[in-house]
Structure 1
Amino acid sequence: MIAKRRAHHKIKHQPPILNDDKVCEYLFQHPDFFIRHAQQIDKLRIPHPVRGVVSLPEWQMTRQRNKIKQLENEIQSLVQHATINERLFSQLMTLQLALLKANSFSELLEHLNDWGRSLGLLGAYLYLFEDKWQLTAPSNFQHLSLSTEKFDFIRIRHLQYGFQYLGQLSPAELTLLIPEQGYVGSIALSLLGDFGDLGVLVFASRDPHHYQPGQGTVLLEKLGQILPVLINRWIERKPLC
């Protein structure tokens, strides 16, 4: 009985086991610790991947420099995005004004194509889904008619639930959308209409890296909304069944 009490007494008075959480908790509860032990702080050595070890003040200064560098990079990125957005807005306004001035559907297509080429692209390609627009004779734009069934393999592979795609297409996909061009490196594609069911707009570039997944699609989105309204001035929509 006496032995058990002694064993219990020993266990009861064992010092607490330190771990990271307890050390952090102590420092938070005693914020004056570093003031009271300033001389000891200078003697601390922190492992460093390049220099082996550094003092705590050096380590803190390095962290501050890294934070400042990170903030500088974030500010630079914001400035770049603002510049890009300003340029995109200017480009969209220029194109929108040109499209609004078009006196015919042929002129609209010409403005769209000229605008694409002014940006160094191969051009712009517009297709209207045949089940949504009146494109049969006597229409002069039957060559713009596109079957939704034929387009579905592109939609399933690249768009799924999205309305825009930037990147590369397979030879079979390019044959469907841009048959007359010899080499196309990358494309930007946008579905037309609020539900993406009215047609397709494609911009093509010879540069395989010009359009890449992850790039902004704001301009494509706006064109996808504007074009159906303008097209309806010259081509009628099919009645809903």
Structure 2
Amino acid sequence: MKHDYTDSLKALSTDIVKEYLLENSDFFIRHPELLLSLRIPHTERGTVSLIEHQQQNLRARVAQLEEEITSLLSVASRNEDIYRFYNQLFFDLLETDSLEEVNRVLVDSFKRRFRFAKVRLAVTDSGGQFDQPELNLILRRRLNEEGYYLGRLPAQEQNPLVAQENGSVALVCIGDRGTPVALLAIASNDPSHFSPDMDTMMLDQIRQLLAYKIPQLRHG
């Protein structure tokens, strides 16, 4: 009799067992003794009970969530630091009295906070042209519709801008693209630091301030 019963159990397909358990989700609640007798293969511990397996999965999930929370807190802290930096830079620029001081504040602040290789503010003449003809060509060729270029440049274009041939750059057009007030060029030795998908929200604020401040200082 027992042999026939075992054969009948073996005849049950996996799909039938799975379907039954799905339709009877309280099965193990009604038969808790089975939880301790069920054994599940484990790569390190041989076989473990279903309860032990669930506990291990829960511990692993908790550890994963803790890592995600730690990562989110780290990102939030970094974003707050960046916000504070730009907020201070904004007020420092408001207090400047000359183009030379504007340039000094930009260079000192960006280099001190982010350790950029080069920071340069190139101001145009009253007709929106740069002293270096190469800059006029680079801006017409590289700037996007928002007035930015973020990424890598060929050495022949990057060198006139920031006096280096490698890394990546951020080009920020100050004022209208057709008649720019100035160009802010920031260079990093890291080729991947600046990329086209970067957020420019904080740079937008500095850009607007410079577009207002530079003409006043230039004609003051």
User: TM-score, normalised on structure 2?
Assistant: 0.70
Matches within 5 A, 1:189-228: 189-192=171-174, 198=180, 200-206=183-189, 208=190, 211=193, 213=195, 217-228=200-211
**1:93-118 per-position Cα deviation (integer Å, ceiling 9, x unaligned):** 22111110111223212211121232
Alignment partner of 2:121: what SS? strand
1:146 aligns with 2:135: yes
1:30 aligns with 2:24: yes
2:66 counterpart (69, 72, 86)? 72
Structure richer in helix, relative to its length = 2
Structure 1 residue 50 displacement after superposition = 4.4
Identity among equivalent positions (%) equals 30
Task: Assess if the C-alpha contact under 8 Å between 2:96 and 2:102 holds in 1.
Answer: yes
Give the Cα–Cα distance (whole angstroms) in 2 for the partners of residues 32 and 74 of structure 1: 33
Gapped regions of structure 2 (runs ≥ 5): 1-10
Q: For the structure 1 residues 135 and 163, does the alpha-carbon distance in structure 2 shift closer, same or farther, using more than 3 Å as the test?
A: closer
Give the Cα–Cα distance (whole angstroms) in 1 for the partners of residues 157 and 60 of structure 2: 47
Task: Assess if the C-alpha contact under 8 Å between 2:169 and 2:186 holds in 1.
Answer: yes
Structure 1 residue 202 displacement after superposition = 2.3
1:19 counterpart (15, 29, 35)? 15
Q: For the structure 1 residues 124 and 38, does the alpha-carbon distance in structure 2 shift closer, same or farther, using more than 3 Å as the test?
A: same
**Count of aligned pairs:** 206
Task: Assess if the C-alpha contact under 8 Å between 2:152 and 2:169 holds in 1.
Answer: yes
Task: Assess if the C-alpha contact under 8 Å between 1:186 and 1:209 holds in 2.
Answer: yes
1:88 counterpart residue number: 82
1:169 counterpart (153, 158, 161)? 153
Gapped regions of structure 1 (runs ≥ 5): 1-14, 237-241
RMSD of aligned C-alpha atoms? Answer: 3.9
Report the residue type matching 1:84 in the other structure: R
1:98 aligns with 2:87: no
Structure 1 residue 32 displacement after superposition = 2.0
2:127 counterpart residue number: 134
Structure 1 residue 225 displacement after superposition = 3.3
Report the residue type matching 1:101 in the other structure: E
Give the Cα–Cα distance (whole angstroms) in 2 for the partners of residues 230 and 161 of structure 1: 20
Alignment partner of 1:211: what SS? coil
